[in-house]
């Protein structure tokens, strides 16, 4: 397939595909799916070998959020029945993180619900970062606290944070349909602040919210332009009690095409399979490791994930290896550049040149059967007296 040969060549050179090429990946047939995975797998292995980075989430503050993000179980007025608690103490957070690190994770992601942190919240998180790093030499810590005010990214960096996560989630043109209490521009501003402060920027998307192929390509090209070091690809977990609870639009094949498209557009960044892989990829999760080089271990913020032991067995059985704490995740050219980049070619680094659409219309994705049996609210780990799933 000429398209795939072209995309592999571009991926090995870190050259930006055209929008038409990215859209064509999403429009491929099921008959061509294994060819798509194999092609994107060549790009993944070129930059990251067969290593899989493990990340572990610690939900520092659950629920009670004033924002109205339609996909989120912690949103304003949520009736989802999730765990709700205020800030964990530093020792509690450190204990929660230790479980994931013992399971092989090398990055701990500290997440707190809310619009954004107050300066007091930043101080509180700084204490938590110190507690975790004092107990775990060499651990990476990523903070995810919402929209940042001026100076807060610098304070987190000084406190020892290595990275900051803030996802774009969906395309700019459809963002207002998902959230009304803040804007797409607010999110871009926070990623920019993190980058400028010397933090490794982490920003990704959520697929499965009813978006079009064009929306998916738009948000991934916007991410390429922002140039984060890691791009989490979330698949919507339709939690009962949220406005998007009935959105079961994904199939395992659709998820694999999305991951392949992200890999081709962002060839040398850490592509992470984030929330929802167990719900939507299901038995095809091992195949997705050929596209992404990073996953979350165990449970998510408010819902349960696959057992950590099963994650480790899956990685080994698929012929991959867990990335060690002494291994550098990013390719040399990106790691040497510090936070951010290395892919500013004259092609425009993700700019929306041309603005064309694919010459062929993608076949309608059949609605995926609702698998509510795979969606379970988290009842263990942080904020409870029960051991976490790590």
Which parts are annotated binding residues? 65, 69, 72, 109, 142, 202, 272
Assess whether 202 carries a catalytic annotation: yes
Rounded distance, CA 67 to CA 242, Å?
A: 13
Compute CA distances 361 → 78, 235, 322, whole Å: 37, 23, 39
Rounded distance, CA 131 to CA 92, Å?
A: 10
Select which of 144, 202, 255, 266 is catalytic.
202
Rounded distance, CA 229 to CA 231, Å?
A: 7
Rounded distance, CA 248 to CA 237, Å?
A: 9
Assess whether 255 carries a catalytic annotation: no
Assess whether 272 carries a catalytic annotation: yes
Assess whether 72 carries a catalytic annotation: yes
The DSSP output letter for 293 is S
Q: What angle do CA 157, 159, 162 make, to 5 degrees?
A: 45
Select which of 109, 144, 266, 358 is catalytic.
109
Rounded distance, CA 56 to CA 98, Å?
A: 10
Select which of 75, 272, 277, 378 is catalytic.
272
Select which of 14, 44, 51, 72 is catalytic.
72
Assess whether 349 carries a catalytic annotation: no
Q: Beta strands of the chain (E only): which ranges?
A: 51-61, 107-112, 140-144, 163-165, 200-202, 205-207, 230-235, 270-273, 294-296, 321-322
385, with CB counted inside 10 A (0-12, 13-18, 19+), is exposed
Select which of 19, 65, 144, 224 is catalytic.
65
Classify residue 350 as left (phi > 0), alpha (psi -120 to 50) or beta.
left
Assess whether 144 carries a catalytic annotation: no
Residues in binding site for [4Fe-4S] cluster? 65, 69, 72
Rounded distance, CA 230 to CA 239, Å?
A: 26
Rounded distance, CA 312 to CA 335, Å?
A: 26
End-to-end, the C-alpha distance of the chain in Å comes to 41
Q: Write a three-state SS string for 49-93.
A: CCEEEEEEEEEEEECCCCCCCCCCCCCCCCCCCCCCECCCCHHHH
Q: Name the token pair of 82.
A: 């999730």
Q: Name the token pair of 277.
A: 């892989």
Residues in binding site for [2Fe-2S] cluster? 109, 142, 202, 272
Question: 170, 114, 110: which is closest to 144 by C-alpha?
Answer: 110
Select which of 44, 142, 157, 341 is catalytic.
142
| Residues that are catalytic | 65, 69, 72, 109, 142, 202, 272
């Amino acid at each position: 397939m000429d398209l795939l040969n072209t995309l592999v060549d571009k991926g090995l050179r870190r050259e930006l595909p055209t929008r038409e090429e990215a859209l064509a990946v999403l429009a491929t047939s099921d008959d061509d799916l294994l060819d798509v995975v194999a092609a994107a797998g060549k790009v993944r292995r070129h930059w990251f070998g067969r290593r899989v980075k493990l990340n572990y989430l610690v939900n520092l503050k659950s629920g009670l959020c004033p924002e109205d993000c339609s996909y989120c179980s912690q949103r304003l007025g949520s009736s989802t029945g999730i765990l709700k608690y205020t800030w964990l103490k530093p020792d509690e957070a450190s204990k929660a993180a230790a479980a994931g690190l013992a399971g092989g994770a090398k990055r701990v992601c500290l997440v707190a619900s809310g619009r954004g942190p107050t300066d007091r919240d930043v101080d509180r998180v700084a204490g938590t970062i110190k507690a975790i790093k004092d107990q775990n030499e060499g651990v990476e810590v990523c903070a995810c606290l919402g929209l940042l005010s001026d100076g807060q990214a610098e304070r987190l960096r000084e406190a020892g944070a290595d990275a900051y996560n803030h996802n774009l989630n969906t395309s700019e043109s459809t963002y207002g349909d998902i959230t009304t209490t803040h804007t797409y521009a607010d999110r871009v501003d926070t990623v920019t602040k993190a980058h400028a402060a010397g933090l490794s920027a982490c920003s990704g998307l959520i697929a499965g919210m009813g978006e079009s192929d064009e929306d998916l390509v738009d948000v991934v090209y916007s991410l390429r332009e922002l140039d984060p070091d890691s791009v989490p690809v979330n698949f919507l977990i339709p939690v009962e009690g949220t406005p998007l609870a009935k959105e079961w639009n994904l199939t395992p094949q659709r998820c694999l095409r999305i991951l392949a498209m992200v890999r081709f557009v962002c060839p040398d960044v850490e592509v992470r399979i984030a929330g929802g892989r167990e719900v939507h990829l299901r038995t095809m999760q091992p195949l997705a490791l050929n596209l992404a080089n990073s996953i979350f271990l165990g449970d998510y913020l408010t819902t349960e994930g696959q057992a950590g032991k099963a994650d480790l067995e899956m990685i080994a059985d698929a012929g991959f290896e867990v990335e060690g704490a002494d291994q550098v995740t990013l390719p040399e050219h990106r790691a040497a550049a510090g936070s951010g980049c290395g892919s500013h070619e004259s092609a425009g680094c993700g700019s929306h040149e041309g603005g064309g659409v694919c010459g062929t219309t993608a076949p309608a994705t059949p609605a995926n059967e609702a698998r509510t049996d795979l969606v379970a609210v988290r009842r263990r780990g942080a904020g409870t007296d029960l051991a976490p799933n790590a």
